[in-house]
Amino acid sequence: MIEARLCFVVACLALAYTSGAAGAFETDAMKPFPVLRPVPERLRDERRGFQSAPSLTVSPKGRLWVAWHTGDTTEGDENGMVVVSSGDGGETWTPPLFAIDPPGPLRILDPGLWTDPDGKVWLFYAQLYGMWDGRAGVWAMHPLDPEDANTGWTPARRLCHGYMKNKPIVTRDGTWLLPSEFMNGKPWGGRLGAAKSIPKEFAFEMPEYRGANVFASKDKGQTVTFLGQAQIQPKDRDCTENMVIERRDGTLWMLVRVKYGIAETVSSDGGKTWSELRPSAILNPSSRFFIGRLKSGAMLLVKNGPVGTKTGRSHITAFVSDDDGATWLGGLVLDERNNVSYPDAVESADGFIHVVHDRERTKAREILHHRFTEADVRAGRLVTPGSRLKIIVNKAGPKAN
């Protein structure tokens, strides 16, 4: 009798895992999950053993928002997301205000923040089964009041396949372009470096999306459709993390993370077709970088090390360009230490540029913020009153036992 009851319990647990019938195991990656407030204990500062890949944006009145993914001890199918905010230009930061943390083998990947031309704040993130399920999905939600740290947030909605670490852009004709990416290889679960298979009913094969994808919206994000992609040679593929910027001549320039650093491609038809990828003159380790347009019209580049030098993940540095990326000026070193990576940037209405990045994802576990101006970048040093580097946004506490 005991054996029969035990078998019944095991069978119920297995059914819960595969069907999501029980609260402990959820498998439906197409289902929106609510804001968790307060933050679950496992994602509180004193418990987190890993945090990385921050993103930030600024509200119309200057409130900064930062999000990153975290949870477990590295990237894997136990990751969630937390969000913090600052109302004083980044001098002080709230503790994590809320989390998105789906149960079971689902995970949150690469949150991204963006403020559209109408002043609406967007929080994007990917939701998927396991480490990679072959499909993923970009989701979006918005604060009800972007000037209030304790505001409510709209229910999340799914925009498209893939995941989107980098910010959308709006072209001169009003089209929104979203750079969505796909991971390499077959679907798998577990932690980074410890792959395991996932049930075939939760694994997807979508080879048509295995490129540097661009999705488009003509209605300010209400609907999003696939537009085009640049093909990446299998030998060069890494985390794609593609970024698009519109040049003054109307062409689109895409920079793509590849194994050797950064590749580039150009589109002359609004993003439908792209030239063959080739190595960029901008050298970088295989790691995320940032490129965007400042209000002055100059381009801003934030990367590891000098423009023409390939370093490791150290010396996060900001540069500007007045000729659409042909040459780069200045060189403001934001953080010279090792194990600093994944910069994201935004310019606020007061002319300050804000950059966040991570440092020592499993040791120091820091998210850092820098506040400076275009003049500081051009000078290669801080020359503007109020500029400041290496402000700690968040530092996780001791690892959980």
> CA-CA distances (angstroms) from residue 369 to 96, 343, 385?
15, 10, 17
Residue 388: exposure state from Cβ atoms within 10 A (0-12, 13-18, ≥19): middle
Q: How many CB atoms lie within 10 A of CB 219?
A: 9
Secondary structure (3-state) at 234? helix
Q: Which amino acid is at 223?
A: T
The secondary structure element, H or E, covering residue 177 is strand 176-178
Predicted confidence band of residue 400 (pLDDT cuts 50, 70, 90): very low
Residue 300 confidence (pLDDT): 98
DSSP 27: -
Q: How far apart are CA 306 and CA 293, in angstroms?
A: 19
Domains of the chain as residue ranges with CATH: 33-143+151-395 (2.120.10.10)
Sheet holding 340-347, edge to edge: 340-347, 353-359, 366-372, 388-395
DSSP E strands, 3-75: 51-58, 64-70
**Contact indicator for 259, 238 with CB cutoff of 8 Å:** yes
How would you class 362 by CB atoms within 10 Å of its CB: exposed for 0-12, middle for 13-18, buried for 19 or more? middle
Asked if pLDDT for residue 235 goes beyond 90, the answer is yes
Contact 333, 20 (CB under 8 A): no
Q: pLDDT digit string (tens) for 347-376?
A: 999 999 999 999 999 999 999 999 999 999
Is 232 in contact with 181 (CB distance < 8 Å)? no
Nearest residue to 256 via CA among 235, 228, 284: 284
Gap between the Cα atoms of 235 and 241, Å rounded: 16
pLDDT tens column, 65-89: 999 999 989 999 889 999 999 999 9
pLDDT band at residue 15 using 50, 70 and 90 as cut-offs: very low
Q: Is 9 helix (H, G, I), strand (E, B) or coil?
A: helix
Mean pLDDT, range 116-136, rounded to an integer: 97
- Please tell me the distance from the alpha carbon of residue 76 to that of residue 190, in angstroms, as a whole number: 6
Q: State the Cα–Cα distance between residues 226 and 170, nearest whole angstrom.
A: 16
| Average pLDDT of every residue of the chain | 92
Q: Rounded CA gap, 149 and 85, in Å? A: 6
Name the pTM for this structure: 0.93
